[in-house]
């Protein structure tokens, strides 16, 4: 799964790193929320989508603000708003299949977090930060939707991050990883092609790195650069008692 991400730049710098996309109408509203060192579901993020409107100023790829947690048009309060979608299921599950065919997105980030279950009990987990070895920003594969709030009548954009089997590095800490796309594949992922299933594969481990971080990442309220600082190995970790 992928339930935490971080963006360690300003919004303007992030956008400059993905210069093939232009700003959408509401993206500037996110400006004062970044850097974000410990991002969690339900928060708003910049995503890149293919514009569905053929107008000179908008046709192409655009940055839009969206809330993390997918809400299709049929979503009702009380239903689950998944923050992850398994690549094996998205072509057939009602929650994902329509968005997969026509509303795929990129989620630009600097890194993400994952937890290793040290003793297999689920009670003592070591968090890790994961990023590119050259520290460059990258994009996760996602799906997006628009849900109309029946109380306000406002259309809200939402998204989910797709996961796949882990590469060799990620397999040492978890059985899933987010789908990371090569830059050469961004255009195809955002295209009108209905089923680019071959792009949803583990990213090469040799291009990535990971390191142990402190357990403060467990709370999204802890949102400072210290979150991604490397910590020393615990020479004698003890299992948490049930």
Q: Which residue matches tokens 């968005």?
A: 99
**Cα(84)–Cα(162) distance, rounded to whole angstroms?**
6
Residue 205 DSSP SS3: helix
The beta strand positions in 124-207, using DSSP E, are 125-132, 138-148, 155-164, 177-178, 180-181
Exactly one of 105, 114, 145, 164 is catalytic; name it. 114
Residue in 2, 87, 105, 164 annotated catalytic: 2
227 vs 95: CA distance, rounded Å: 33
69 φ/ψ sector (left φ>0, alpha ψ -120 to 50, else beta) = left
Instruction: Give the three-state DSSP class for 172.
Output: helix
2 catalytic? Reply is yes
- Cα–Cα distance, 145 to 151 (Å, whole number): 18
Identify which of 117, 109, 113, 84 has the alpha carbon closest to the alpha carbon of residue 217. 113
Q: Is 87 a catalytic residue?
A: no
As annotated, the active-site residues are: 2, 114
């Amino acid at each position: 799964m992928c339930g935490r991400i971080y963006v360690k730049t300003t919004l303007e710098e992030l956008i400059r790193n993905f210069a093939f996309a232009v700003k959408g109408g509401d993206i500037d509203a996110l400006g004062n929320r970044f850097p974000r060192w410990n991002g969690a579901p339900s928060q708003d993020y910049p995503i890149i989508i293919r514009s569905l409107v053929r107008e000179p100023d908008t046709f192409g790829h655009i940055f839009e603000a969206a809330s993390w947690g997918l809400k299709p048009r049929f979503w009702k309060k009380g239903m689950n708003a998944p923050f992850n979608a398994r690549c094996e299921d998205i072509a057939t599950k009602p929650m994902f299949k329509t968005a997969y065919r026509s509303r795929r997105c990129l989620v630009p980030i600097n890194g993400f977090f994952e937890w290793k279950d040290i003793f297999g009990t689920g009670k003592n987990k070591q968090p890790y930060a994961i990023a590119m070895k050259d520290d460059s920003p990258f994009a996760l594969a996602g799906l997006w939707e628009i849900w109309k709030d029946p109380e306000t009548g406002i259309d809200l954009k939402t998204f989910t991050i797709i996961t796949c089997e882990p590469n060799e590095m990620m397999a040492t800490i978890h059985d899933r990883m987010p789908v990371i796309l090569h830059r050469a594949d961004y255009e195809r992922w955002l295209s009108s092609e209905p089923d680019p299933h071959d792009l949803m594969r583990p990213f090469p481990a040799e291009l990535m790195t990971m390191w142990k971080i402190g357990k403060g990442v467990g709370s999204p309220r802890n949102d400072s650069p210290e979150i991604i600082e490397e910590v020393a190995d615990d020479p004698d970790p003890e299992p948490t008692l049930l």
